[in-house]
Homo-oligomer: A and B are copies of this chain.
Amino acid sequence: MKTDKLPRVVIVGAGFGGLKTAQKLAHAPVQITLIDRYNYHLFQPLLYQIAIAGLVPSQIAYPLRTIFRRQKNLTFQMGEISAVDFDARYVRTNGSVIAYDYLVLAVGGEANFFGLRAVEENSFQLKSIESATSTRNHLLRMFERASREADPDKRRALLTFVVVGAGPTGVETAGALAELITHVMTKDYPEMDLQESRVLLIEATGSVMAAYPDELRQATMDLLQGKNVEILLNARLTDYNGQRITLADGGHINAYTLIWTAGVRSAELTDRLGVQQAAARRVRVEPSLQLPQHPDVFVIGDAAYVEDKQGQPLPMLATVAQQQAEAAAKNIRKILKGEKPQPFQYKDPGLLATIGRNAAVARIWGLSFSGFIAWVIWVMLHIYRLIGFRNRLVVLINWAWDYFFYDNQVRLITRE
């Protein structure tokens, strides 16, 4: 067992950051343990497709043991981290204790409700397969209930779908949901008048897609409105009881469905580490992504607070996590060779969001695209980024099918 003498790298979390770190250390003289509470890597940007019954979980999730079958220096362990001891250098999971020489915390993020507890309890999220599947089951159930509801006010509330937060996830969800209703549900429920149905996108700030340039924000608004999504800007939620939304200006919206995409914060674990935190629970790190006072610990992705050159915190995006993973892996290799770790610098690869079938907005190579061309870029890029050739093939067939026949396949209401 000569590998026993190699430095032990423990990576916590197999999202975009953890996965990339593990892959970048494939040929490093280390012994890696990758820990995740799930046994699969999840392609989170497409979770909203689960919610609108466009894809099924296995198309966007891929078993970690299969991904790493050929990587001999890595062991996967399914488990949840309960504590980390930075001094004794071990992590504790449900059931075992794993010692490390180097630790990479890539624990990801979760929905941030900013203290609105009632909203948190009564709304749906798109952060895991389970929450996205719940959202799908709920959405479909609303149509079934509406189909046998005689009271027109209640029926309208059952058919009012509110998405909160007009970032990329909110915009993509609202656009895809509007299309599902217009092109699929109208056929499945010929007995109902789906003109009664509404999709609302509520945003607390004055614009959709805050990170995008002006012309793409306008294009997003136009594309969404063309799909009958109603956009409410400068509108802030204060309460939701599962049937009625209360806004800060005193207004009310009757809706049985609220999908929350308005905020992300670091996973709860970061609160229990006893380290310095910034906004949204994120862990303050050195420019090299090392934890202050603990140079053998790296924090990357949603869980890490890193500022860009303008002093703004880097967004919680897959591209940030992946670039930080490369930097962390490179710095671990440097330390092993006795070299000094380098500071991380984020290179913005552009922005890209889809708005239902055949329309998207993109900012790539300094250029803005919107409409069909942007959508083609989006489809190709997302299919390319999915792991596993068979998954890509099946997703491609599904999308091609949906594109030509407008028929989402998976409108199953399963019981949880």
State the A residues within 8 Å of B (CB): 38-40, 56-58, 61, 63, 65-66, 69, 75, 77-79, 95-96, 129-130, 133, 140, 144, 147-148, 187-191, 388, 390-391, 393-394, 397-398, 401, 407, 409-416
Contact = CB atoms under 8 A, between A and B. Distances in A.
A361 to B, nearest CB: 29
Contacts of A148: 77, 79, 95-96
Contacts of A190: 69
A383 to B, nearest CB: 15
A352 to B, nearest CB: 27
Given A65-B189, A187-B69, A140 B412 contact: no
Closest 4 CB pairs of A and B: A65-B188, A58-B410, A63-B411, A78-B144
Contacts of A410: 58
11 contacts: A38-B413, A63-B412, A65-B188, A66-B407, A66-B411, A78-B413, A95-B148, A129-B414, A130-B415, A390-B401, A390-B409
A56 to B, nearest CB: 5
B390 A57 contact: no
Contact of A411 (B39, B140, B188, B391): B39
A147 to B, nearest CB: 8
Given A39-B140, A133-B414, 4 more contacts: A40-B411, A56-B58, A63-B412, A79-B148
Contacts of A133: 414
A409 B395 CA distance: 13
Contacts of A96: 148
Contacts of A65: 188-189, 411
Contacts of A393: 397
B58 A412 contact: yes
A7 to B, nearest CB: 19
Contacts of A394: 394, 397-398
Contacts of A66: 187-188, 407, 411
Contacts of A391: 409
A130 B413 CA distance: 11
A313 B415 CA distance: 33
Given A63-B412, A144-B39, A191 B397 contact: no
A57 B95 CA distance: 32
Contacts of A57: 56, 412, 414
A409 B393 CA distance: 13
Contacts of A129: 412, 414
Given A56-B58, A140-B39, A394-B394, A188 B412 contact: no
A77 B247 CA distance: 35
B390 A398 contact: yes
Contact of A412 (B61, B77, B401, B413): B61
Contacts of A416: 416
Contacts of A61: 412
A226 B100 CA distance: 44
Nearest to A388: B409
A243 to B, nearest CB: 17
Nearest to A415: B130
